[in-house]
Structure 1
Amino acid sequence: MNMVHKIIFTGPVGSGKTTAINVISDIPTVRTESMATDMTRTMKAETTVAMDYGRINLPNNAAIHLYGTPGQERFDFMWDILIEGGIGLVLLVNNDRPNPVRDLRFFISAFKDFIQRTALVIGVTHSDLRPRPSTEDYQQELASLGLRGVPVFEVDARERRDIVLLIESLLCSIDPMVERRKAARS
């Protein structure tokens, strides 16, 4: 059996999408980064302009394909292309940006239809630099948007175990039996 699953990583510039995919991928990642030429260059030298791609290999020739979207709205035409066939969305929010709650609202709105068809998990990065808003603040914002029960975690995009947590949470949101099967194998 050759099962393929596709998870999308999105979020604003500097939220850790490229890093997260790089740290979790079982293959060398494909990155489409270019020199930042606009206000993004004050945050980082390079930025994703098309996508990031990685893969997690699973038993029985199954795989989870990981696609990272560009964070800049001017590349939003790629978002619709990348979500095609996706099973869920990992939204990374950089807590150290000027208004991370506004970023959350923006990306929830931009991916609203996809989220309604699939599943969502939120990873809050850079909480070590700025502890507010808290995960509870994000939960309240999600509830105000009609999204209750969405997992929200503080994560470090450089830490494999944190990204594994996000992916496992997303998969459990899609199929709660995933956690039971995982526990039964332990």
Structure 2
Amino acid sequence: MAREYIVLVAGPMGAGKTTAIAALSEIPVVRTEALNTDPARNAKATTTVALDYGEISLGDGDKVRLYGVPGQDRFDFMWRILEKRALGMMLLVDNTASDPLSELERYLHSFEALGARGALVVGITRRDLGRMPPLEAYHARLAQLGRVLPVFSVDARNAAQVRTMLGTLIAMVEAQAARQPTGATA
């Protein structure tokens, strides 16, 4: 029987969510872009205001539905709508941000309910532009929060790197499902 995986791609504005979905999607990405009205936070011209959507077929009829959530807090109502059916999340954090470790913590807290029931992986983007903090600092912050999660250095434009993150996430979702008692529902 074919399975469907609903996966969120979350993170701050400019972390590479739309780019990562575009790198993976087999269909033209549905985008809801608008002019960026917060250039002080990020100089990019547009920003996602509702969602980005892409799809990937895994074989045997299995499908991954990727939903990119807006990075700005003023659109956080979309976070709640989109996370309801999600089985997991790829969290992207821009390493060149002024305080990327705080961004990591903020998003983990914001998606705490999904983290409690679903699988999470973390991708650190733009490490080619800013090598600090190192990946070890992300692991240390996660440890302070009592979390052990896979952390990847990822170029959101590189389909192979993003696919590795997604494959890890799907494996985690399947492992969680295998641990559930027969007849249990998520």
Could you tell me the TM-score, scaled by structure 1's length? Answer: 0.90
In the other structure, the counterpart of 1:64 is: 64
Query: For residues 79 and 59 of structure 1, do their structure 2 counterparts lie closer, same or farther at Cα, with a shift above 3 Å needed?
Result: same
Query: For residues 63 and 121 of structure 1, do their structure 2 counterparts lie closer, same or farther at Cα, with a shift above 3 Å needed?
Result: same
Q: Deviations over 1:54-97 (max 9, x none)?
A: 00012232210000000000000000111121110100000001
In the other structure, the counterpart of 1:96 is: 96
**CA distance in structure 2 between the partners assigned to 1:55 and 1:86 by the alignment:** 14
Q: Deviations over 1:155-181 (max 9, x none)?
A: 00000011001101112222349xxxx
In the other structure, the counterpart of 1:13 is: 13
The amino acid across from 1:89 in the alignment is: M
Q: Please report how far the alpha carbon of residue 27 of structure 1 lies from its aligned counterpart in structure 2 after TM superposition.
A: 0.6
In the other structure, the counterpart of 1:140 is: 140
Contact between 1:13 and 1:40, CA under 8 Å: does it hold in 2?
no
Contact between 2:13 and 2:42, CA under 8 Å: does it hold in 1?
no
Q: Give % identity.
A: 43
SS for the counterpart of 2:78 is helix
SS for the counterpart of 1:76 is helix
Q: Please report how far the alpha carbon of residue 42 of structure 1 lies from its aligned counterpart in structure 2 after TM superposition.
A: 4.6
Q: Please report how far the alpha carbon of residue 2 of structure 1 lies from its aligned counterpart in structure 2 after TM superposition.
A: 3.8
**CA distance in structure 2 between the partners assigned to 1:39 and 1:105 by the alignment:** 23
In the other structure, the counterpart of 2:150 is: 151
**CA distance in structure 2 between the partners assigned to 1:167 and 1:58 by the alignment:** 11
**CA distance in structure 2 between the partners assigned to 1:173 and 1:33 by the alignment:** 31
The amino acid across from 1:87 in the alignment is: L
SS for the counterpart of 1:58 is strand
Pairwise CA RMSD of aligned residues?
Answer: 1.5
**CA distance in structure 2 between the partners assigned to 1:100 and 1:47 by the alignment:** 19
SS for the counterpart of 1:89 is strand
**CA distance in structure 2 between the partners assigned to 1:40 and 1:62 by the alignment:** 42
Q: Deviations over 1:83-140 (max 9, x none)?
A: 1211101000000010000100100000011101001100000011111111111011
In the other structure, the counterpart of 1:182 is: none
**CA distance in structure 1 between the partners assigned to 2:160 and 2:67 by the alignment:** 19
SS for the counterpart of 2:59 is coil
Deviates more, 1:106-115 or 1:31-40: 31-40
**CA distance in structure 2 between the partners assigned to 1:135 and 1:174 by the alignment:** 24
Q: Which runs of 5+ in 2 are unaligned?
A: 177-186
Contact between 1:32 and 1:52, CA under 8 Å: does it hold in 2?
yes
Contact between 1:135 and 1:152, CA under 8 Å: does it hold in 2?
yes
What pairs with 1:112-131 in structure 2 (closer than 5 Å)? 112-131=112-131
Q: Please report how far the alpha carbon of residue 4 of structure 1 lies from its aligned counterpart in structure 2 after TM superposition.
A: 1.4
In the other structure, the counterpart of 1:181 is: none
**CA distance in structure 1 between the partners assigned to 2:10 and 2:109 by the alignment:** 12
Contact between 2:14 and 2:42, CA under 8 Å: does it hold in 1?
no
Contact between 1:8 and 1:89, CA under 8 Å: does it hold in 2?
yes
SS for the counterpart of 2:128 is coil
In the other structure, the counterpart of 2:160 is: 161
**CA distance in structure 1 between the partners assigned to 2:152 and 2:4 by the alignment:** 26
Q: Which runs of 5+ in 1 are unaligned?
A: 178-186
The answer to whether residue 184 in structure 2 is matched with residue 173 in structure 1 is: no
